[in-house]
Each structure stands twice: as C-alpha cells, then as structure tokens.
Chain A
Amino acid sequence: MADLLYARAQMGLSLAFHIVFAAAGVALPVLMVLSDLKARRTGDSDYRLLSQKLAKGTAILFAVGAVSGTVLSFELGLLWPEFMGQYGEVIGLPFSLEGVAFFTEAIFLGIYLYGRERVSPGLHLFSGIMVAVSGAASAFFVTLVNTFMNNPSGFTATAGGPTDVQPLVAMFSPGWQYQTSHVLLSCYQASAFAMAGIHAFVLLRHPGAAFHRKALSVALPLACVTALLQPLVGDLSAKHVARAQPVKLAAMESHFETERGAPLRLGGGVEIPKGLSILAFADPNAEVKGLNDFPRDEWPPVPKVHLAFQLMVGTGSLMALLALVTLAQRWRKKAWPDGKGMTWAWLLAGPLGVVALEAGWLVTEWGRQPWILRGVMRTAEAVTPVPHLSAPFWTFTAVYLFLGVTVVFLMVRQVKGTLPGPLASGGEAHGH
C-alpha cells in the first residue's frame, strides 16, 4: 500500500513539475512571435530585445520541460507497467503524434534560437510560428491521452486485456473537445499572467521603464482574452463531467445526497438555490447525483478534489474579474491601464494562472481515483511490483526541487538584465 502511494506521489510530482514547463513551452513561443512581429512592424529595439529575452526563456523552460517529459514517458512504464502493458497499444497513437509535434518543436526552436544570423528573416519568423504551432499540437495530443483515461473508449475490456482496439476512437474519447480547449487555454493564460506579473513587479519599482511597459502590452491582451474565455470553456467542461463522470462532479462540489434542483454551495455557508443543477445540466430542476449513490470504494478523495476545484474556480474568477476591469479601462482610456493600483493588481495576479492550472489538473487526476482507467482498471492494479519506491520518490523530489530553484534563479537573472539604471546587473544586460 505504501508503495502505491509513493508511486502516485512520484507520478504526481513529476507531472506537477512538468506541466508548468510544458505550459510555458506552449505559450512563450506565441508571446515571442508576437513581440517579434511588433519589432518588425515598428522597428522598435525594445520589442526586439523582448522577443530575444522570451526566446531565451523559452529555451530554458523548453529544455527542462523536455527532460522532465522524457522522465514521464519512462515513468509510465516504471510506475504503471500493468496499465502500459495492456493499454499502451490503445493510447499509442496520440502519444506517437505528440512525439512528432515535439520533434518539430525542437527542430524549429533550434533554428529560431541559433539561426537568427543564418537564415532569412522570413524563415526565422516561420520557425518561431512552427514552434508555437507544434507546442500547441503536442499539448493537444497529450491531453487526448488524459481524456481517454477519464472516459475510456475504443476497445472491449476483457480479463486478458483490451480487444477490438480502435485507436482513432480511443484517441477522440468523449469530451476531448472540452478538455483539450480547457487545457490549451490554461497554458496561454498561466504564462501570460505570469509574464504580466513579472513586468508589473519591475514597473512598480521603475515606473518609467519603457521596455517593461511594452512587455506588459504584449502579455495583457493574451491574459485578458484567455481569462474571459476560460470560464465559458470550463463551464462546458463541467457539464460534460456532470454527464460522463457524475461521481467526480459530486466530489468537486462535495455533494453527498442525490437531489433535484440542487443548490450551489459556495464557501462560507452561502447557497445559490438550484445553482448546481443549472450549472451542471442547464436545467434548474435537474437531478444531481450525490456521492452516497456510489459505492464507497469508488469515491475519489472528496476533500482534496473539492478544495482543488474551489481553488481553480476562485482563482479563475479573480483573473476574469481583473481582465474585465482592465479591458474596460483600456476601452475608456484607449491605453493599457498603468496606474499604481492596476499594476499592483497585475503583480498579485501573476501566480494565479499557474495556481489555477495546477489546481485544475489535480481536480482531474484526484477526481479520477481510484481508477487509472476509469471503470476499467484501478490504480492499485496498475502499479509496479518493484519494492522500495520511496527511494526514487525522494530522489526525484530532491532533483525537481533543485531544478525548480535553479530555473527561478535563472529567470530572475534574465529579467534583471533588462532593468534600467544602476540596478542593471553587469555582464549580461543588453549584451546582444
């Protein structure tokens, strides 16, 4: 039993670490290309420097994402050999296509980063766009695998493993459209908010820094658009979960008794009558299944799923609110808001996207337990027979901690290089 927990903890840790870098690998190239385009249009050297800084950031984050992704591809087998041994063939297709996307991403990133002086400006820009497109494609394909684990389809389960395998059906399991759009948006949202937060931080200390004002003007549109779209997509996604995985929805809402016209219970004892029925089924009198209707041994860990869900919705709402206020001011003043209050708000909102991304992922993964393949194979049946799994768990925990700290350290130095005046650290600043 302890080994199962260590295996889950190691997988969870590896994924929690990886998705931050994967998200950055999806979104930063878009921001990098946007700055590059602005630089070409305006001839402004700040935008050029920004796109170069973002390219360096992409390189560091992509490399860490690539190695942590390699770890994951092995860990699928190292930790869950029964699952991969039986269902590897069913989900091989999206994984292979993800490999293709990953390949093109690495190739064009190499050309973009090192080829500035070697290729034509057109080809250089094209490479940047290819990096952005392949990043999105690889997130898309790998999310399809997760959709499959939540809503398995495309095979007939037997005691000896799957038969009648239809890889294309498995690849597009029910709900794929909601989950992939939710995940892709979250990647852009988390990265844009983080970038906005960083530059807001610098602007509070150096209000006149033109470079950082411009950087903010690149991050804010993406942040605002994604923050407003995300609740809509999230709602569609929740409606799908309500139909396909009622026990997960019940855990998300901590909903124990089956009832018609179920209220939505917010934190602090506030209830919206019939709110949950409306949210889940778009019908005020719809029946919402409660946890008590399911066998006890098929409940996900309710408090954890509930808390993670609240965290995701809460942070998501805050971000949407900030986006609304920002866009309203943008519309009134014809300029991105740059008052002290708004800058503080963007600084404080900086980490929210990453928090929401991690929380949302936890909702999906904890909410699927105790199944690795919902309704077909339990996590406990899939785990490796190898003993002493605490050893790799603690090793990888230490490694990821070390890498995480190092990356933050390097990112801080990247930003420091752009600081105006005497604070600019020597050596690297404007050294292009």
Chain B
Amino acid sequence: MGTETMLGFAVAGTFVLYALFGGADFGGGVWDLLASGPRKKEQRELIAHALGPVWEVNHIWLIVGVVLLFAGFPRAFAVLSVALHVPLTLLLLGIVFRGAAFTFRTYDTRGDAVQRQWGLVFSIASVMAPVLLGLCVGAVASGNIRVEGRTVVSGFFAPWLTPFAWTVGALALCLFAFLAAVYLTHEAPTPELREDFRKRALGAGVAVFVAALAVLLSAREGAPRVWQGLLHEPFALVLHAGTALAAVTAFALLWTRRFKWARVAAATQAGLIVLGWAASQHPYLVVPDITLSGAASGPTAQRMLLVALVVGALTVLPSLALLFRVFRPGPLPSTRMGK
C-alpha cells in the first residue's frame, strides 16, 4: 500500500470518528432544540451532562482531518477551500456559535431566560452545521467541482447548490440526530428518560432510512460517478451489506431495549455510511478531477506525516481511553460543575 493510500485511510478514519463523536454532539444539539414532553428539562440536562466533558475533544477530530488533508493532499485542500468557500464559512460560523454558546451556558448559570437563549443559539447552530457539512460532502462527491490545473472553473455556488448536495445534508442531520438519541438511551439515568430517547432514536432511524434512500435515488442524476461506485464496485457492495445489517441490528436492539449494544450497532452503521461514501468515490478526492495520488504531497512529507500520525495515536489514544473510562455513564450527580 502506498503512503497516499494510508493517508487517505487516515483522512477517512478521522471523518468517521468525527461523525461518531462530533456528529453525535451535533445531534445532542438537535434534541436540545426538540426537547418536549413532561421531562423537557431533564432531557436537556442529560444532553448537557453527556456533552460537557467530551465536546471539545470530539470536535478536534475535525481539526485533525483538516490538517491531514492540507499536509497530505495540499492541492485538494486548496481546491475545496475555493469551491466550497461559502458553505465552509457558514459551517465555521455554526461551529463558533455552537461551541461558544455551549460553554457560556455551562459556565454561566444565571436565570433560566439567559440559559435558554444560549441554549437556543447552541441548538440552532447544531442543526445548521451538520446540514452544511453534509452539503460539502455531497458537493465533493457529485462531480460538480471542476478543476483545470490549479484553478477551480465551476464557480463558487454551482457545485453545492444542487438537490443532491442538500439531500446529503439532510442525511447528515438525520444520521447525527439518530446517533445522539441512541447514545443518550444508554446515558439516561432513569427508565422514563430512556424511553424518551428510545422513541426519538426509532423515529430518527426511520428518517435516516428515508434520507439514505433519497440520496441513493438522487445520486443517479446528481452524482453519476458515486452512483456507479455505489452499485458496481464489489467492495462497495460489501460495505452496503454491512451497513444494512448494522442498521437492522440497531433497530432490533432498540426495539428490544438492549441499549448498550444498540449504540455499538448504530455507531457501526454510521461509520460504514461514511466509509461507504469514501469507498464509492475512490480513487478520487474531489470527483472527477483530483485523485488521491494527484493531490498527494511529496513522499518525504507523506512519510513524516505518517510518523506524526503514529506519535499522535500513541499519545492521544491512551489519554482518550482514560477520558472515556472516567466519564463512563453513571447516575446523574446532584451537583454539576458550573453550579
């Protein structure tokens, strides 16, 4: 395997991890917005409690992905920055407001009105960001970003203002909401709250199915290359089979209230969807003009980057394991940080 393939896997891997962790955080924001019923307040508290210690860590997968992209595939990074300037800028605004609002709400617990205002900013930004993220992915896969030499020739709007890109945005939103709801069933301290999020998870699961179907159908027109990849590459078919199996399993486990395993199945499903996207557009980084090898940096730079990746993994993974061990779901403590 060439260094660029390994780095390609690493980039795809960080996107999977960002979807599984950062994405679920966005989903938490969606459920904060949609909190309802007699346990509205408890739902929001559970979300804040689950996010508190980990949201900043979860967010860093995105930065790792960006750095790997510009260090490993600088040409693709430059092209995407130009072609997707507008949605990426909007995504940044979403990320800024989400992080700031969540922190301000957590560390400045004054009257309910102020809390609610920050909460609203937090959850609106949480809805906006996944749609924009999915939109960018859709634009990359669609084949509408065209490049000649180093110049983007398809304009700054056309590649992402397409039904296909927006359908992918909707899928991202549904998927993140689904993940969050499934994770929260496991984190919930009371059976009632569990049921609340179980219902939400089942509903979001159906939404994911519908959105995925819509993406598949619109891919034929909107992303012909991916449509080919989705249906005809043998490994893509294996990935689809795996995704379908994971989806059905997650649904069954939710139905029978086996929450601990439901989240494993849901994470597998989400991870396979992201990998399926990566596989279906392989060997292109930006369909159809930029391939992995065409955008790759020089061999020395790539090797050093892989070394840094190993060093990073050896530092970060044990620390992450510690973090998740410390914050294993348990009963909600009566006093929270920030009180």
Contact = CB atoms under 8 A, between A and B. Distances in A.
B53 A100 contact: no
A97 B304 CA distance: 11
A76 B300 contact: no
A113 B92 contact: no
Nearest to B70: A88
A81 B81 contact: yes
Interface in B310-339: 311-312, 315-316, 319-320, 322-323, 326-327, 333, 337-339
Given A63-B100, A103-B312, A399 B60 contact: no
A107 B320 contact: yes
Interface string B66-107: 111011101101111110010011001101111110111011
A60 B301 CA distance: 36
A210 interface: no
B109 A428 contact: yes
B82 A81 contact: yes
Contacts of B98: 67
B305 interface: yes
B88 A96 contact: no
Nearest to A171: B304
A111 B63 contact: no
Nearest to A108: B319
A94 B89 CA distance: 25
A100 B57 contact: no
Query: Chain B at the A interface: mostly helix, strand, loop or mixed?
Result: helix
B62 interface: yes
A74 B92 contact: yes
Given A82-B78, A107-B57, A163 B337 contact: no
B333 A117 contact: yes
Contacts of B67: 73, 92, 95-96, 99
Contact of B74 (A87, A108, A399): A87
Size bin of chain A's contact surface: 35 or more
Size bin of chain B's contact surface: 35 or more
Among A73, A82, A87, A168, max chain B CB count under 10 A is at: A73
Query: Chain A at the B interface: mostly helix, strand, loop or mixed?
Result: helix
A417 to B, nearest CB: 11
Contact of B53 (A113, A395, A428, A431): A113
B80 to A, nearest CB: 7
B108 interface: yes
A106 B333 contact: no
B256 to A, nearest CB: 32
Contacts of A167: 300-301, 304-305
A385 B149 CA distance: 14
Given A92-B70, A392-B89, A110 B77 contact: no
Contact of B77 (A62, A70, A84): A84
Contact of A165 (B63, B99, B300): B300
A405 to B, nearest CB: 12
B308 A165 contact: no
A400 B72 CA distance: 31
B57 A103 contact: yes
B60 to A, nearest CB: 5
Interface in A151-172: 162-163, 165-168
Contact of B71 (A62, A95, A166): A95
A89 B109 CA distance: 44
A314 interface: no
B320 A89 contact: no
A410 B315 contact: no
A70 B304 contact: no
A141 B104 CA distance: 29
B64 interface: yes
A239 B79 CA distance: 40
11 contacts: A70-B62, A70-B92, A77-B81, A88-B297, A89-B71, A92-B301, A95-B70, A99-B60, A110-B53, A113-B337, A384-B85
Given A95-B70, A106-B56, A385-B152, 13 more contacts: A60-B103, A66-B59, A67-B98, A68-B96, A71-B96, A77-B70, A85-B150, A89-B302, A97-B308, A104-B316, A107-B320, A165-B297, A167-B304
